[in-house]
Structure 1
């Protein structure tokens, strides 16, 4: 039970319920109440404080400085740091209690060891850091819910591209998006437009490579400002296949873009424009004019997470479109994951839809694939379950996937990137499933 040290004429007190360092003084500075912890920080017993003057204790170096005089002077709460005789530092708070005349009658003070406060501060900082991580994760989850028509953006590289697009959408700067055909460049450009302040204005896409040089200028300016730049005023103008422009058309485009206009420019290319500049195929002045922000979309074969989700999403869309309930067989699914998909999402959807239409049963099989996509007989993984244990089946699948990947890719590093495992793991597994280690080219 807590013991409260009081002057002899004091009765019951609420203060005895607190395990805190609490002291009450009169307006003359005399200590009339002290809790069980009072004095501990100052190296004295709490009963030794009762009846003492804070001014005398300050002069003796026990209270350094005393807080009561400051509260009496300012007539408001005061917080300060005290240095105790034992070398400890405490944070003390003094609160005035007023009488009916508005004068300070008593001062209540309580203190905390600053080392404990530092622990609390560290805890709060860690908590703030954790909360920041949670907010980041929530933002990431929200971004994953953003639907980009015709493609999936859930792999690490795609998520980075999407986050960059979200940030760039708020900036009035030109953007360059490059990647192989079908990786979702135009869809990402539409997404940037939809997330920007220009979302309610025009979105104009131009295939630059299809415009003859003889009418290139007039196509953008128009006879009465009805060209592409005028139509995209206040909105977004997408210059598709800009890397296919001739040097003379690039010069004309650079001149056009230097003239006053209000369109936001997004350039799309199949190849890296920076590399094209180095090779002398793209003008430096146009490059510097456009290349203020850049986003690269990796090919689907380097985005296994997106490929997996793309197969599921497109199948779901096809079932809805054709009012069917079809599924993909396991061997077909694993085979689809191994294909190179040079046409990326566009090619994937086309192949799935052709297979969907070709299939005459609720289960789409390898034989339903277009003939050019079907594996050779020796490449078929085969998932016959009769008489086989799960480890045996998984080992068989792993072996076939690795051997098929070995035929398609030049190095074990490429295989590792596609299969989502480390390069040493690829080498170790190949040794396991082949009689001889991989050749010199597989490094």
Structure 2
């Protein structure tokens, strides 16, 4: 809309605007400016409004009520609803313009038919709903791609673990993280610490299994005689990570429960290879310590059950070695597929170690199955042995699926175990084995489980 200039000789001028219903009046109520759509709500033309008095129009029932007198009287912005001669409702806003004596000199009013406002309101509500959906999707994407230094968390199970970790980081409660060696428990503990309100405090790791039972209590509370600090005071205001808690004797666990129960200044994060509830059932973990710590357990699955993380780790490690050793090398296709099938009982640590070894020792810029240490190499029957060049995608996928399925069958006794490792249902395993095997065992496949 163009700037409006109130000049003495422009009383009869129509403002050059097409999309706003704006009327300007003097303090006495005389209409001195209108737009080209002014009057539509009232059944009048802009020319029929110019020069008229809003008081006369109010008396005629056209402006019901007139807004100018109320704005002049109250000297502030006024919003009200007018009823037009046709019975329609119009929302009108009046704004005062003051002179140097702080008296109202002119009144600018603009109006919208309420039906238009309802449409606008519905649009804004729809827009707000859509934006909420977008925000939720963005939040989900952020959750899916959270970067944790030193760890890879892209699989569904990893994403759930990270989501729980973020939630627990915001509250001051003990946390238990369990999973095999090398799955990233310590890294996740560091992430929780970094996301908490204790991030500026110390992060202290303690391997409980290395503390002699005779000095266990002193290790945690310190020695007054020698004025040495214990782990609890060292970690005050921060996080204390207790590793291999399950390796403690029940007597040491009793002392630990007593100390932790009185602790108010340190967050406790316990790491264990075995779930706490299993340890408690087996009598290896005191019940009182279990209930003190086991509030929101976080399970990190082994790497072999996190195929997305395994794939990502292979790619990232190789890329890192290329940068580290300034040597451009790539993984052969059959080696890549074989790496995805290995059990990796040492998880990320074992994977990184093996990849770095073969990266360094390989004599070619293409690392092959032959570069693997002997006990990692596949037997002749396990080798994929496929040349991707010239093959269609369905053929490649079917060939690889068959090899992976048969290799998995050699490692596990039941189709239930196979299904768990492969991340598919047990009936799917049975169906695929029937598809790819022709031995007599095929007919008895349903009995394997």
Alpha-carbon distance in 2 for matches of 1:203, 1:311: 29
Alpha-carbon distance in 1 for matches of 2:379, 2:90: 80
5 Å-filtered alignment, 1:103-114, equals 103-112=103-112, 113-114=116-117
Alpha-carbon distance in 2 for matches of 1:342, 1:51: 91
Alpha-carbon distance in 1 for matches of 2:59, 2:304: 79
Check 1:375–1:219 CA distance in 2 against 1; reply closer, same or farther (3 A cut): same
DSSP 3-state at the match of 1:440: helix
- What CA deviation, in whole Å up to 9, does each residue of 1:154-201 have, x standing for no partner? 223323433443454454432221122211101222233344454555
**Counterpart for residue 446 of structure 2:** 440
- What CA deviation, in whole Å up to 9, does each residue of 1:187-216 have, x standing for no partner? 222233344454555432222233343433
DSSP 3-state at the match of 2:76: coil
5 Å-filtered alignment, 1:18-57, equals 18-42=18-42, 46=46, 49-50=49-50, 53-55=53-55, 57=57
**Counterpart for residue 230 of structure 1:** 233
- What CA deviation, in whole Å up to 9, does each residue of 1:323-344 have, x standing for no partner? 5433221111111112232322
**Count of matched residue pairs:** 432
5 Å-filtered alignment, 1:204-223, equals 204-223=204-223
5 Å-filtered alignment, 1:305-316, equals 305-316=308-319
Alpha-carbon distance in 1 for matches of 2:33, 2:122: 29
Alpha-carbon distance in 2 for matches of 1:130, 1:322: 46
Q: Post-superposition shift, 1:357?
A: 4.9
* The 10-residue stretch of structure 1 (240-249 or 325-334) with the greater mean CA deviation from structure 2: 240-249
DSSP 3-state at the match of 1:239: strand
Check 1:208–1:59 CA distance in 2 against 1; reply closer, same or farther (3 A cut): farther
Alpha-carbon distance in 1 for matches of 2:312, 2:406: 24
CA contact (8 A) 2:245 2:270 kept: yes
* 2:236 aligned with 1:240: no
Alpha-carbon distance in 1 for matches of 2:415, 2:72: 79
- What CA deviation, in whole Å up to 9, does each residue of 1:215-270 have, x standing for no partner? 33233233234332233334322111223333332211101113356332111112
**Counterpart for residue 334 of structure 2:** 331
* Structure 1: unaligned runs, 5 residues or longer: 1-8
* 2:206 aligned with 1:203: no
TM-score (norm 1): 0.81
Q: Post-superposition shift, 1:55?
A: 4.3
DSSP 3-state at the match of 1:361: coil
5 Å-filtered alignment, 1:175-194, equals 175-194=175-194
* The 10-residue stretch of structure 1 (407-416 or 165-174) with the greater mean CA deviation from structure 2: 407-416
CA contact (8 A) 1:331 1:381 kept: yes
TM-score (norm 2): 0.80
DSSP 3-state at the match of 2:445: coil
5 Å-filtered alignment, 1:22-421, equals 22-42=22-42, 46=46, 49-50=49-50, 53-55=53-55, 57-58=57-58, 62-82=62-82, 84=84, 88-112=88-112, 113-122=116-125, 124-126=127-129, 128-129=131-132, 132-133=135-136, 136=139, 139-140=142-143, 144-147=146-149, 149=150, 151-196=151-196, 198-199=198-199, 201-224=201-224, 225-260=228-263, 262-277=265-280, 280-322=283-325, 324-385=327-388, 388-389=391-392, 391-408=394-411
* Structure 2: unaligned runs, 5 residues or longer: 1-8
Check 1:219–1:97 CA distance in 2 against 1; reply closer, same or farther (3 A cut): closer
* The 10-residue stretch of structure 1 (349-358 or 70-79) with the greater mean CA deviation from structure 2: 349-358
Alpha-carbon distance in 2 for matches of 1:328, 1:441: 39
CA contact (8 A) 1:427 1:438 kept: no
Q: Post-superposition shift, 1:79?
A: 2.9
Check 1:304–1:76 CA distance in 2 against 1; reply closer, same or farther (3 A cut): same
CA contact (8 A) 1:243 1:269 kept: yes
CA contact (8 A) 1:71 1:95 kept: yes
CA contact (8 A) 2:147 2:153 kept: no
Check 1:115–1:423 CA distance in 2 against 1; reply closer, same or farther (3 A cut): farther
